[in-house]
Amino acid sequence: MSLKESIEAVRNSFRAALAAFPTDPQQVEALRIKYLGRKGLVADLFSKMATLDPSEKPLYGKLLNQLKKELTTAFEEKVKEVERKDTKSAQEQADYTLPGLYYPVGSYHPLQQTLDTIKSIFKSIGFSVAYGPEVDDDYHNFQALNIPKHHPARDMQDTFFIDDNTVLRTHTSNVQIHLMENQEPPLRYIVPGRVYRNEAISFKSFCLFHQVEGLFVDKYVPFTELKGTLEYFIRQMFGDDKKIRFRPSFFPFTEPSGEFDIWDDERRQWMEILGCGMVDPAVFKNVGYDPEIWHGYAFGMGVERIAMLKYKIQDIRHFYQGDVRFLEQF
């Protein structure tokens, strides 16, 4: 569970506890201690902040302070309300003609569900999860990945520029560079995240989408391991019957490069779900790894497309419209 989900979980369980508020003062105090006590659930969430990336701390600090304030106020109000009611008899308080309370049950967004499945498959085979910046400099998004300025390969990904030197990342591959700049090999990571492209919008392309990047660097990394790992992933995700295809492709930062396609039964056509390849020695040089010693593979998959194939979703735009009739189905 992410910290955000944990916050929601505490908030929801507290709301449920308020709805079934105890009458016995000892139980009321126990409830207060459970949520708001020095070692309560809220304090526990605060202590988890230590594990966060420093860049995430301000946001979570804010969310947690809000939660604490909200819970404290709601609790105090409830206590006051109960004290007022206590002056009436039990008979007077109960109105058995009132309709019952309806608590709609939420669910995780289909993209979150897909991301969780992807993460758990890769975690089970030794990958760690890392994150990186969505707004990045030209160097990390392009140049370090062997895509120089004015190179035609830039046309592969239409870019939103913040200024001349700053972009909304067009892929999660920028995090490959950050990871390698900050640690020594070997390493094995997946990197989920949002990416942005100024593309023509269609049923399978949107200006915002999600990718999961993969990076594995070690001394002995054969191409077959890349292919085998990705095939294993696809089988875990889609089962053994799905028709898949692996074909050669081109990316400036991998050599050789390939792409995996999945047969889309609904549209009766191939759908590309990921690009991959062996890390180009030029990329290793850019981060100061010796390409004579270190080898690696990388991949980047489109989360929306995987979710579309898995759940038979016809249009990528559904993910971003927040239509309850769509969301309810997951």
Q: Which two tokens stand for residue 83?
A: 């004290």
CB of 45 or CB of 187, closer to ligand PHE:
187
Q: Quick one: which of 110, 193, 277, 296 contacts ligand PHE (CB under 6 A)? A: 277
Does residue 173 interact with ligand PHE by CB under 6 A? yes
Q: Which two tokens stand for residue 327?
A: 């969301």
Q: Which two tokens stand for residue 162?
A: 């913040």
Candidates 24-32, 87-95, 221-229, 274-282; binding stretch for ligand PHE (CB under 6 A): 274-282
Site string for ligand PHE, 129-158 (x = CB under 6 A): ------------------------------
Contact between residue 145 and residue 176 where contact means Cβ atoms under 8 Å apart: yes
Per DSSP, 322 falls in state -
Report the C-alpha gap between 195 and 213 in whole angstroms: 11
- Please report how close the Cβ of residue 275 comes to ligand PHE at its closest, in angstroms: 3
Residue number with the shortest CB distance to ligand PHE? 300
Report the C-alpha gap between 214 and 298 in whole angstroms: 5
Does residue 300 interact with ligand PHE by CB under 6 A? yes
CB of 251 or CB of 319, closer to ligand PHE:
251
Q: At 217, phi and psi to the nearest 5? A: -125, 130
CB of 42 or CB of 168, closer to ligand PHE:
168
Sign of CA dihedral 11, 194, 281, 227: positive
Per DSSP, 109 falls in state -
Report the C-alpha gap between 111 and 119 in whole angstroms: 12
Does residue 171 interact with ligand PHE by CB under 6 A? yes
Does residue 254 interact with ligand PHE by CB under 6 A? yes
Does residue 196 interact with ligand PHE by CB under 6 A? no
Count the Cβ atoms, other than its own, within 10 Å of residue 175: 24
Q: Quick one: which of 187, 212, 298, 316 contacts ligand PHE (CB under 6 A)? A: 298
Contact positions toward ligand PHE, by CB under 6 A?
171, 173, 251, 254, 257, 275-277, 298-300
